[in-house]
Amino acid sequence: MTTVAATAHGAPAHHDDRSFVRKYIFSTDHKIIGIQFLFVSLFFLLMGGLLAMQMRWQLGFPGKPMPGGGILPETMAPGGVILPEYYIQLVTMHGTFMVFFAIMPLLVGVFANFLIPLKIGTHDMAFPRINMWSFWTFLIGGLVMLSSLFVPDGAARAGWTMYAPLSARHDYSGASLGQELWSVSIIFVGLSSILGSLNYITTIINNRAPGMTWFRMPLSIWSLFITAILGLLALPVLSGAAIMLLFDQIIGTHFFDPAVGGQALLWQHLFWFFGHPEVYILILPAMGMVSDIISNGSRKPIFGYRSMVFAIVAIAFLGWIVWGHHMFVSGMNPTLGSSFMVSTLIIAVPSAVKTFNWMGTMWRGNLRFHVPMLHAVAFVAMFVIGGLSGIFMAATPVDMFIHDTYFIVAHLHYVLFGGSLFALFGAITYWYPKMFGRMMSEPWGKVHFWLTFIFYNCTFFPMHITGMAGEMRRLYDPNQYAFLQPLQPIRMFISISAFLLFATQVIFFVNFWWSLWKGKKAPQNPWEDNGLEWSLPSPAPHGNWEKVPTVYRGPYEFSSPQVAEDYLPQYTKLPTDREPARAPVAGH
């Protein structure tokens, strides 16, 4: 058994003489672009949370003036009492901001950009300027969406799913410009996604360092690669649908309005054909990063690496043929419902496989509970609940009952918050040192984790119960229904838990910002991890390496018998390692 003296560090890149604007504002450096996405998305995450807090106020304390509600206009909340028209804007915009401007860009815009070149061993993305454009189009989309809250008649209000013809006609919804701005914003989001995917796919296929074969790539990169393909193919359909919706709204076309020959269900099919792959975009990168973190925290190779890759591919592939499970009671042909049920039940299997493999990784490990590991394990625990609740919906007769109830709201929050957001808290903490050269505070990270975990479950678990009792979604005042009145204590409990949950996030935000200046200076490889990024200084320099590293093994060689340490980086050359075969490309 050999002892590796010092981990090889990559030679830092040349002296960087770009101007401030080129370096930090109009940067083509993938790491800066990733950080730009991070700052903007965290802002939208906060926005989405604020909108939810207002919703929960109305649901927990219906008809009562909201603290601070005085700043809202009289048309939306006179005397701080939320009106129905404002409530459905809150519902719509909460979903919209969280899906398109928080979770998706946090997972993809941040981590695909930041991690891909670093973890596959190249200087930057294949198309750095197009990459820069993917950020700016995203920002424009976000600003347009934000502006829609402030226009006359207010924001869009047909739910983030924008079902037509409610969304297509101002006389049905009551919204005008705000509704149109939603469509315009989504077109920008689609463009941003496509430009990003272009880069991620090309870079991963062609720019991997020598020795970084497909099956030596970390699962975070596999998942980002597959996610990029999903995004590339799904977002254009959303863009097309949004364009058609916009045209219905402003130039009088008739795509979705049956009153003039259009088809209402056409919107649903287009939206969900995009929408289902979209939710896998929202979970796969989280799964990938959780794999990296759990392997690191367990000091053990990921259990079943190849199965994990196949599971990611299976989820992505099956994800294209399940969209109708959002439409079981839509009026769609029930036979189609049967076929969508089959594909939906089958897609549960690869997710189950992944869960068992994460557990297999922890089994007989040497578990270190650093903050990212806490979040990664919580991801598994919470995602399982979200995944299992999905099985109820997959069974079409049961779905007939729980569709459009809080059972669905519980499910989606367990996978998106309990799943994706916990994974993000872990991932942000994990790669923070490589981004900023500092560590986030570990004790405050643990406080944030535990409080979030408790308040999160208090907020969302009871929604399974109110959903089972039949409580419908998007209701401004459930107490209109006698059968829902007895649930008011639960609604109040959920609201109070939600307020505490939101307040707890202050800890994360303060930790994040404070650590940028005052955090402990980060060592090169604080987590004793194996990825290529840890061969670089913290923070990683412009251009990453002077010369790309060479890869000698897979990414999960923890507790290897070959060395004394319990980790063995991909880039470390042992005396027994051979150089990878030169890629036989003509001309080289």
Partner 1 sequence: MTHAAATVDQMLPPYPAERGLDVYNKKLGMWVFLASEVMFFAALIGTYVILRFGATGEWAKPGIVLNIKITAFNTFLLICSSVSMVKAYAAIQDGDPKKMRFWLLMTILGGATFVGIQVYEYIHLIEHGFVPSGVREGSELATLVANGTLPAATMGLYGSTFFTMTGFHGFHVTCGVISMTYLYFTKALPGKYSKQDYGGIETVGLYWHFVDLVWIILFTIVYLI
Partner 2 sequence: MHWWLPAKASTFTGPIDGLFLAILIITGIAFVLVEVGLIWFILKYRARPGRKAFYTHGNTRAEVIWTTIPAVTMVALGLISNHYWVQIKGRNSIPPNAYPIGIHAKQFEWQVTYPGADGTLGTRDDFTVRNQLHLPVGRPIVVLLSSEDVIHSFYVPQFRVRQDVVPGMDIKAWFQATVPGTYELGCSQLCGLGHYRMRAQVFVQTQEDYDAWMKQAAQEASQ
Q: Which stretch binds partner 1 (CB under 8 A): 31-39, 83-91, 209-217, 401-409?
A: 209-217
In this structure, the chain runs to a length of: 588
- Does 510 participate in binding partner 2 (rule CB under 8 A)? no
- Does 359 participate in binding partner 2 (rule CB under 8 A)? yes
Closest listed residue to residue 434, CA positions, set 363, 531, 538: 538
Closest listed residue to residue 520, CA positions, set 440, 444, 457: 440
Helix ranges (H only) for 14-160 are 20, 30-60, 84-96, 104, 111-120, 128-147
- Does 243 participate in binding partner 2 (rule CB under 8 A)? no
- List 405's β-bridge partners, or say none: 472
- Does 475 participate in binding partner 2 (rule CB under 8 A)? yes
- Does 526 participate in binding partner 2 (rule CB under 8 A)? no
Rounded to the nearest 10 degrees, the angle between the axes of helix 488-518 and helix 442-468 is 160
Closer Cβ to partner 1, 212 or 484, answer by number: 212
d(CA 153, CA 86): 10
d(CA 446, CA 439): 14
DSSP, res 210? T
453-483 burial by CB neighbour count: b if 16+ within 10 A, else e? bebbbbbbbbbbebbeebbeeebbebbeeee
- Does 392 participate in binding partner 2 (rule CB under 8 A)? yes
DSSP, res 123? S
- Does 21 participate in binding partner 1 (rule CB under 8 A)? no
Cis peptide before 539 (omega within 30 of 0): yes
Q: Which stretch binds partner 2 (CB under 8 A): 35-43, 133-141, 200-208, 347-355?
A: 347-355
Footprint on residues 148-207 left by partner 1 (CB under 8 A): 194, 197-199, 201-202, 205-207
Question: Residue 240 touches which of partner 1, partner 2, none (CB < 5 to 8 A by kind)?
Answer: partner 1
Footprint on residues 539-578 left by partner 1 (CB under 8 A): 543-544, 548, 551
Q: Which residues contact 571 (CB under 8 A, 6 or more apart)?
A: 8, 10, 121, 532, 535, 549, 550, 551, 552
| Smallest distance from partner 1 to CB 322, Å | 17
Instruction: Please report where in the chains the tokens 């207002």 appear, as a residue.
Output: 54
Footprint on residues 151-210 left by partner 2 (CB under 8 A): 158-159, 163, 165-166, 172-174
Closer Cβ to partner 2, 181 or 394, answer by number: 394
Footprint on residues 271-310 left by partner 2 (CB under 8 A): 298-307
Footprint on residues 534-553 left by partner 2 (CB under 8 A): none
x/- contact string, 252-281, with partner 1 (CB under 8 A)? xxxx----xxxx--x---x-----------
Question: Residue 208 touches which of partner 2, partner 1, none (CB < 5 to 8 A by kind)?
Answer: partner 1
Footprint on residues 428-467 left by partner 1 (CB under 8 A): none
- Does 134 participate in binding partner 1 (rule CB under 8 A)? no
Footprint on residues 16-55 left by partner 2 (CB under 8 A): none
- Does 137 participate in binding partner 1 (rule CB under 8 A)? no
Footprint on residues 305-344 left by partner 2 (CB under 8 A): 305-307, 329-331, 333-335, 337-338, 341-342
Under rule CB under 8 A, how many of the chain's residues touch partner 1? 62
- Does 63 participate in binding partner 2 (rule CB under 8 A)? no
Closer Cβ to partner 2, 397 or 575, answer by number: 397
Question: Residue 147 touches which of partner 2, partner 1, none (CB < 5 to 8 A by kind)?
Answer: none
Closest listed residue to residue 107, CA positions, set 194, 1, 34, 22: 34
d(CA 235, CA 233): 6
| Smallest distance from partner 2 to CB 473, Å | 7
User: In this structure, which long-range contacts are made by residues 460-463, counting pairs with CB atoms below 8 Å and at least 24 apart in sequence?
Assistant: 460/410, 460/413, 460/414, 460/417, 460/418, 460/494, 461/410, 462/490, 462/493, 462/494, 463/406, 463/407, 463/409, 463/410, 463/413, 463/494
Q: Which stretch binds partner 2 (CB under 8 A): 247-255, 426-434, 499-507, 555-563?
A: 555-563
**Can you tell me whether residue 405 is helix, strand or coil?**
strand
Residues that bind partner 1 (CB under 8 A): 13-14, 28, 122-128, 130, 194, 197-199, 201-202, 205-213, 232-237, 239-241, 243-244, 247-248, 251-255, 260-263, 266, 270, 543-544, 548, 551, 580, 582-588
